[in-house]
Structure 1
Amino acid sequence: MDFQISAVFKRSITIELLNDTICYAPSEYSILINGEEKLKTDLNVVTVDGLKPDTEYTITLLTENGKTEKIFNTEYESVLLDVKAFGASGDGETDDTAFIQAAINSCPDDGTVYLSKGVYLSRPLFLKSRMTFWVDDEAVLLGDTDRKHYPLLPGLTPTTDEKDEYNLSSWEGNPETSFASLITAVNAEELEIVGKGIIDGNGDKGDWWTDPKIKRIAWRPNTVFLNHCRHVRMQSLTVRNSPCWTIHPYYTDDIALYNLNIWNPSDSPNTDGFDPESCDGVLILGTRISVGDDCVAIKSGKYYMSDKHHKPADHFIIRNSFLERGHGSVTVGSEAAAGVKNVEVSRCIFKETDRGLRIKTRRGRGPNAVYDNIVFRDIIMDHVHMPFTFNMFYFCDPDGHSEYVQDQGARPVDDKTPLIGSVTAENIVAKGADQCMLVAYGLPERFIERIVFKNIKVSFLPKEARKPGQTIMMDDFPEMTGKSIYARNVKHLVVENVEISDCDDSGPELIDVLDYDSLNIAYNS
């Protein structure tokens, strides 16, 4: 069994097994560092910490069939700054913000700011370039609950020459003033946020989740907000109890998550796990996300941002990760007016989410709102109510229920009409489906271009265990249960080697699907 070194940090390393299994190895194996066993596991992606900076190591993967070794060097570290040396108490009651921020501001290039065992109550902290922020095991960074203690990040500020505008914040795809997040970075590069500790947004305390759609002073903060950053890596941390979206990279390129654990209560409002917005180069590896809304939601802003600050979401890889509970496992849109392309999700487990692959858009997103080359392969879905939903009538925003958005008759194609291009799903097993395997509803004036399903096996819950539900969020669309495929306004639908068990259908329901010559579905009772 072989492996690859996915990421090397100052004091840790993440590896990924090179196999064709999903999330788990075929059998347990050991990881040794310089001949000393560090852990036993059966996970495909693991992190080993407790290393020294700027040191050569030999890492060995040991199985019952033999061993594989590789040599690596940890990163250089210029200095380690313990926040307690700057006055932080870590007692969970004292406001440690100023002391931690003093350590951050004092940190030189390639330095590390270190939080040792303790609970550090803090207001928003601002990280900077070429530093590591290390929250060690048994350390908790705990967010202040009083919104009056949070700085504001203005959505738009005119530049001095009045020729441009400076964008510091975002709320649901628009440049709206929001509170700074517990961890905030603006225009930072070569930033690392690591450790086996906890970053707790404390959203379950205070009033963050009360009337969540009402703006009070400013819009709710994220727990981690990365604005116009480059080369950001996060590893091993638990990030939980977010006031709103948990980790929100915004116009940030080259960001990677390794073995993170992102958790929010299932009833917490708008607490998406990871919402990259207008980002290029995103990797999620070995990460577990269990939240109150979408686990991963890929976005690129609403119409204004696409028009004035156009940047599509591009080059996404999600692999060997666990996406649980929440509304969608991986969602594209709906605030994606600048488009989303080149997304590959593979070797993941989706568990007990409402939807598996969830694509959503609507009239008004504009001509750049093109979703294309989205590929899902080698996925296990466990009790996902609706494995696949493609919705071009999503009823979000104040005008979401308007006739313009919800009219199911054809309207003229104009500069506000979005497009769903090519979407492929292959080698997927879904057990315990409930409402419908696939709902794909394109606009009558702009059909979904191409949907390809290959090697899919779906089994439904027994009839007595199912509950009719709203499969896609649009007006005047019936609830469903036990239904296989509903496709409407689709140019090309390719279905090869698809097996559906224990549904109520004997065939798909296709309305205005122009080409479906390769329809190959086996229905089993």
Structure 2
Amino acid sequence: MIRPIPVAISARIAAIRLPVPGALYHLPQMLSWRLTQIAGDLPPREGLADRVVTLFHDLSPASVYRLEIDGLEPFQFRTAPCAGLVDAVAFGLIEGAAPDDLDTASRNASALAAALATVPSGGTLRIEPGEWITMPLRLGGHITLHLARNAVLRAPSLRAGWPILPARGSLGRMLGSWEGMPDACFAAPVHAMEARNLVIEGRGTIDGSGAEGDWWTWPKETRDGARRPRGLHLIGCENVTLLGFTIRNAASWTIHPQGCSNIVAAGLVIEAPHDSPNTDGLNPEGCTDVRLEGIRFSVGDDCIAIKAGKRGPNGEADHLRGTRNVEVRHCRMERGHGGVVIGSEMSGGVASVTVEDCEMKGTDRGLRLKTRRGRGGSITGITMRRVRMDGVLTALSANAHYHCDSDGHDEWVQSRKPAAVDNRTPAIDGITIEDLDVYNLSHAAGVFLGLPERPIRNIVIRRLRIHSLDPDATAQPPIMADDIRPILHETILAEHADVDCDQPELRSMNSISTSLRAAS
């Protein structure tokens, strides 16, 4: 029999993977479950599971449970201990204020700070049901922030009085950042720096009030001396668990682990309007050992964007850190510019990324790699297996002529003639795609555009199945580079890229570039 797999277990929530063969985000059919506390006084609980990564809430700390699920092997697990539970409402939180009520936001921030100060190491701060507006909340380590069902922790819509993170800390480490470079930014509504053993969990919501303020009207600007805040910003943290909550309406990137290690996120809901600018879902940058499971994304930009910082215009690189060992499983990406994206900030290098058993619905691209001359760094060891894409414009893309930054359209970036190779020449080597099912394809199954001086190497595609084409699609350039021709209903196209496909008929002999650029 199949054995359930623990994804993350806190004191009060367990995220368990039900590895039913063929299941992606949802289970093919609902499964009955029964949860019994061993040596406990409470009666067994029963319910139905409809998702592969199922969360069990309202558990007792330091307790052993037995989980029985139809067709799966019985499974036992132990919840973590809790050193003490503190109720934030007891410290004078004020409920139900308007988003622009900065006075209440400041009062609630003071109440939350006072409550946090009383939580013992290994304890929990509980946010009760209700809508609580607060100025940005900074969390420390060895603590759990528990958002109860129907609890909403909301940022104010106005930025007056918001704390600002400087570009660098006292020891020179990058704190505030913007698109991979040190830069002052407003502190996120919930943020942590150098925290260890941090848990953020529950069935409540973090709301960044991006839709209520003016944040989305200046996506690339600086105002009041800072860039827009993230929704949840983790800087230099270790052993962080994110469980079950909803996070929405971030001013910019929604969840941004920066320079962190050992991050687990399971069962989250990450939301932003489809037209909100740069509201990426979850962007690990300069991180190692990241696991993302059972997350549903519906955002205004990339759903998952894996990054490693950006080399400065004068070669600045002291802030760069590589990203290694990222695992994405049983997630659902809806809308968004890309399902799983690597880059374009990848100067520190990205290695060992695995995407398995996921669903992508209506994203512009499925797996997307993007970089350009001047970035340097490498992308290696990228694997995607058992993924279903429906209504995705281009299923697979790797673009080494991405026209980002103010000089992105310059001839030295976009030229298809070989350039000199140096430490600012990016490298892409090692992309493996297996068992990909594509429905309602618009532009192309795969588009790979490498550099003539450093082509993309070792692209392996096995068992790619195109089930249907979108009859209403129109021809469009499938990647963001200059002089790319409009494409409609094509298969795999490659220039300066080595593609090994087990179905030769899928490899097109057509060019990606226009004849003008290709001949230049």
Q: By the TM > 0.5 criterion, same fold?
A: yes
- Amino acid across the alignment from 1:184: H
TM-superposed CA distance for 1:306, in Å, is 7.5
TM-superposed CA distance for 1:17, in Å, is 1.4
Cα distance in 2 for residues equivalent to 1:450 and 1:255: 29
Cα distance in 1 for residues equivalent to 2:371 and 2:213: 33
Q: Pick the aligned partner of 2:473 from 448, 466, 473.
A: 466
Residue 223 (structure 2) pairs with residue 213 (structure 1): no
Aligned to 2:250: 242
Q: Deviations over 1:392-415 (max 9, x none)?
A: 000111111112211121111112
Q: Deviations over 1:445-464 (max 9, x none)?
A: 1100111110001144354x
Q: Deviations over 1:228-257 (max 9, x none)?
A: 000000011000001000000000001011
Aligned to 2:32: 30
Cα distance in 2 for residues equivalent to 1:344 and 1:105: 39
Cα distance change on mapping 1:290 and 1:498 into 2, 3 Å: farther
Aligned to 1:131: 143
Cα distance in 1 for residues equivalent to 2:494 and 2:484: 13
- Indicate conservation of the 8 Å contact 1:457/1:499, yes or no: no
Aligned to 1:323: 333
- Indicate conservation of the 8 Å contact 1:154/1:178, yes or no: yes
Aligned to 1:386: 394
Q: Percent identity?
A: 35
Aligned to 1:274: 282
Aligned to 1:72: 77
Q: Pick the aligned partner of 2:345 from 305, 314, 335.
A: 335
Unaligned segments of structure 2, at least 5 residues: 37-42, 99-103, 514-520
- Indicate conservation of the 8 Å contact 2:4/2:75, yes or no: no
Matches within 5 A, 1:56-71: 56-61=64-69, 63=70, 65=71, 68-71=73-76
- Indicate conservation of the 8 Å contact 1:296/1:331, yes or no: yes
Aligned to 2:308: 300
- Indicate conservation of the 8 Å contact 1:306/1:338, yes or no: no
Residue 440 (structure 2) pairs with residue 399 (structure 1): no
Indicate the SS of the match to 1:104. helix
Cα distance in 2 for residues equivalent to 1:298 and 1:186: 20
What TM-score results when the alignment is normalised by the length of structure 1? 0.91
- Indicate conservation of the 8 Å contact 2:129/2:148, yes or no: yes
Residue 456 (structure 2) pairs with residue 448 (structure 1): yes
TM-superposed CA distance for 1:510, in Å, is 6.2
Cα distance in 2 for residues equivalent to 1:250 and 1:172: 12
- Amino acid across the alignment from 2:499: L
Instruction: Tell me which moved more, 87-96 or 241-250.
Output: 87-96
Q: Deviations over 1:479-507 (max 9, x none)?
A: 211222210002x311014776xxxxx94
Q: Pick the aligned partner of 1:147 from 152, 156, 159.
A: 159
Instruction: Tell me which moved more, 397-406 or 67-76.
Output: 67-76
Matches within 5 A, 1:360-439: 360-366=370-376, 369-439=377-447
Indicate the SS of the match to 1:167. coil
Aligned to 2:198: 191
TM-superposed CA distance for 1:377, in Å, is 0.5
More strand by share: 1
- Indicate conservation of the 8 Å contact 1:393/1:405, yes or no: yes
TM-superposed CA distance for 1:69, in Å, is 1.9
Indicate the SS of the match to 1:51. coil
Unaligned segments of structure 1, at least 5 residues: 160-164, 501-505, 513-525
Indicate the SS of the match to 2:478. coil
Aligned to 2:15: 14
TM-superposed CA distance for 1:307, in Å, is 2.3
- Indicate conservation of the 8 Å contact 1:181/1:224, yes or no: yes
Aligned to 1:102: 114
Indicate the SS of the match to 1:308. coil
Cα distance in 2 for residues equivalent to 1:139 and 1:427: 40
What TM-score results when the alignment is normalised by the length of structure 2? 0.92
Output the aligned Cα RMSD: 1.8
Residue 359 (structure 2) pairs with residue 349 (structure 1): yes
Cα distance in 2 for residues equivalent to 1:510 and 1:494: 17
Indicate the SS of the match to 1:249. strand
- Amino acid across the alignment from 1:414: D
- Indicate conservation of the 8 Å contact 1:485/1:509, yes or no: no
Q: Deviations over 1:122-166 (max 9, x none)?
A: 11000000000011101000111111221010002564xxxxx23
- Amino acid across the alignment from 2:77: F
- Indicate conservation of the 8 Å contact 1:456/1:498, yes or no: no
Residue 362 (structure 2) pairs with residue 358 (structure 1): no
Residue 500 (structure 2) pairs with residue 494 (structure 1): yes
Q: Deviations over 1:102-137 (max 9, x none)?
A: 212322201111101110001100000000001110
Cα distance in 2 for residues equivalent to 1:157 and 1:230: 18
- Indicate conservation of the 8 Å contact 1:201/1:223, yes or no: yes
Q: Extract structure 1 runs of 4+ deviating beyond 6 A.
A: none
